Amino acid sequence: MTGVWILAENLETGRELITIGRTLADNIKSDLTVITWQSELSQEYIAYGADKVLLLPALPQDQPLQSYIPVIAEQARQDMPEIFLLTSSLLGKEMAARIAGQLNAGLGSECTALRWIESEAALEMDRLFYGGAAVQSIRCSHAPRMATVAPRSYSPASRQEDKRGTIDELPAPQPSPVKLLERNARSQAAGDISEAKVVVCIGRGFMKQDDLDLARQLAEALGGEIACTRPISQDMGWLPEDLCIGLSAKKVKPDLYIGLGVSGQIQHLTGIRDARIIVAVNQDASAPIFAAADYGIVGDLYEVVPRLMQALSK
Amino acid sequence: MPDILCCYKWVADEAYIRSGSGGDLDLSMADYKISDYDKNAIEEAVLLAEQHGGTAAVITVGLPDDTKGIKDALSRGPEKAYFINDPAFVDLEPAQTASLLAAAIASPIPYDIIICGEGSSDLYAQQVGPRLAEKLGIPCLCYVQKVELNGSELIAHRKSDEGLEVVKVSLPVLLTVVPDINNPRLPGLRDTLAAGKKPVVEFTAEDLPSIDTAALATTATKAATIKRNSRLFDADAAGIEELVQELKNSGAIA
Ligand SMILES: Cc1cc2nc3c(=O)[nH]c(=O)nc-3n(C[C@H](O)[C@H](O)[C@H](O)COP(=O)(O)OP(=O)(O)OC[C@H]3O[C@@H](n4cnc5c(N)ncnc54)[C@H](O)[C@@H]3O)c2cc1C
């Protein structure tokens, strides 16, 4: 048996996984292995705390990253790590589920906290379910105990100057039946909503894309960022996805969140749970966002926002 | 002409979740529904069958009482349902559901394409689809938002962490789909009546190999509904000025 494995997709989430991976490796008195396909980061992962790096060879142009799955699963079958952690990115969630499927392993999805339960030799994982309306703790006591960890659940590991470790290469994967034809990067939003102090959130109460300027002006007046609900980014495509808040998107923790025409379904509210003050503007007094808000205005956002701007300018 | 099989889950509607005494999860008020994104999966299966002249069927794992879900699913267009049910199928974990689906499908049920939602609206573990693909040993494409089918070749546009990937694969394949792929139709009265006459093939625990023991044990569940003070202000100029003053007092704005 080998200790704790993590699959690092990039340095940012990789360092977060190292933080919890290192803790768990110390708990079970074993070592920490990082799997990566970025050879230039191998030494970095050691500096941040890995004892060992398993390096996946570069893929041909037409092969998607998922092509690595059989190689990783095979190595895990041989080495049988006690614990295997991935990030709950889209890629991480897919890889984890497919590797767990091949190994018949227990997998906790999108966990926000992990603990080692010594008495049961179990990994305990906390996660949200029912769209965030409930939390559960689950335990897995058979290797490989697998989990995907929600980004930003742990702070990134810091660099240790004298840390040493080994680097081994994994075999190249067989050609995948899935061929990559095209890869398009999505347009990135300018600001980062997860760090913003003020967030003005756009919901389906907005009638057309041009009207979003109303929210932009309010955000500007408050020195904040705009954000949106899932239908605005995904169904309407009015804003980039990294501005979307919620269960399947970003979590925010501003001092002030203002929801404009947002109904407040639990999957969205999950993303604003840690906001200090929540203000809701919605014309429907029975919208669930009011129960979750500190302050509310029942009214038409097209009338309320201009008045709000005026009151702020005084 | 492709045979398309679509997996769906019959789930408690999260909108009815209450926080019981001591923060317990109270589901006693809950109504049940087809998991939100599985409606997109059913719609895509039906659309593909309509466009390419194949068949669309649904398959689900549940309790013997979950027949309302079968009727709901069939009213959305599929021509047949496979219903894997047993009183013991309570709170199955994703690995168990995937194994049951795989065993029934291997029995065999014909398929060229299997479609699942990207995740269920209750657990949202996003595991059953990918695990099922591995059990069946077929390619898996997740987070698909557009599908083009040319004979036995499928081109999918799928979401990635960086943006979008266009990929090509030969059938058979399993897809998990995101809600932006289509707008599920609303079944009418005629569809509901027709659904009652469509064939339902049942599998019970005896028809299938015994399920794997659970790998996960749930040690705690708690309601986490969000409740705050909800102080309301008038929508007129005076009310809004009052709100702004309140926000200033609380230090939320300068
Ligand atoms: C598994 C799963 C994951 C999900 N993840 C997310 C997620 O991460 N993020 C997310 O946001 N959603 C998510 N959702 C979707 C979520 O359930 C809701 O559908 C979504 O948040 C609703 O967005 P909305 O409030 O903008 O739209 P709606 O629910 O349509 O609400 C629009 C609101 O605007 C109000 N309104 C209309 N006109 C006006 C006006 N002129 N002035 C004022 N108010 C007006 C209406 O009264 C209504 O309340 C998820 C769903 C599922 C099933």
DSSP string, A196-239: -SEEEEE-TT--SGGGHHHHHHHHHHTT-EEEE-HIIIIIS--S
Q: Under a CB-based contact definition with an 8 Å cutoff, are residues B226 and A269 in contact? A: yes
Residues 6 or more apart in contact with residue A222 via CB below 8 angstroms = A198, A200, A256, A258, A312, B253
Of A138, A185, A312, the CB nearest to B217: A138
Quick check: A284 contacting B, CB < 8 Å?
A: no
| CATH class entry, domain B3-207 | alpha beta
- Looking at ligand 1, which atom is closest to the CA of residue B14? 53
Q: Does the CB of A309 have a partner CB in chain B at under 8 Å? A: no
Q: Which residue ranges form the domains of chain A, and what is each CATH number?
A: 4-169 (3.40.50.620), 193-313 (3.40.50.1220)
Average of per-residue pLDDT values in chain A:
95
Q: What is the pLDDT of residues A252-306, one digit of tens each?
A: 999 999 999 999 999 999 999 999 999 999 999 999 999 999 999 999 999 999 9
What's the confidence (pLDDT) of residue B17?
Answer: 82
The interface predicted TM-score of the complex, written ipTM, equals: 0.94
| Ligand 1 atom closest to B118 (CA) | 1
Provide the angle, in degrees to the nearest 10, between the axes of the packed helices A90-103 and B94-105. 70
In degrees and rounded to multiples of 5, residue A220 shows phi and psi of: -65, -45
pLDDT for A150 beyond 80: yes
Q: Which residue among A202, A229, A300 is best mutated to probe the pocket of ligand 1, counting the most ligand atoms within 8 A of its Cβ? A: A229
Residues of chain B in contact with residue A100, where contact means CB-CB under 8 angstroms, are 95, 127, 131
Q: What would the mean pLDDT of B12-25 be, rounded to a whole number?
A: 84
Two tokens at A267? Answer: 């999957």
Q: What is the pLDDT of residue A241?
A: 87
Report whether residue A268 contacts ligand 1, using a CB cutoff of 6 Å: yes
Contact with chain B for residue A304, Cβ under 8 A: yes
Q: What is the pLDDT of residues A127-147, one digit of tens each?
A: 999 989 899 999 999 999 999
Nearest-by-Cβ selection for A101 from B12, B131, B179: B131
For residue B167, give the nearest of A106, A181, A222 by CB distance.
Answer: A181
- Residue B201 CA, ligand 1 centroid: distance in Å: 37
pLDDT confidence of residue B225: 79
Do A177 and B164 make contact, defined as CB atoms within 8 angstroms?
no
User: Chain A residues with CB inside 8 Å of B221's CB?
Assistant: 134-137
What's the pLDDT at A1?
52
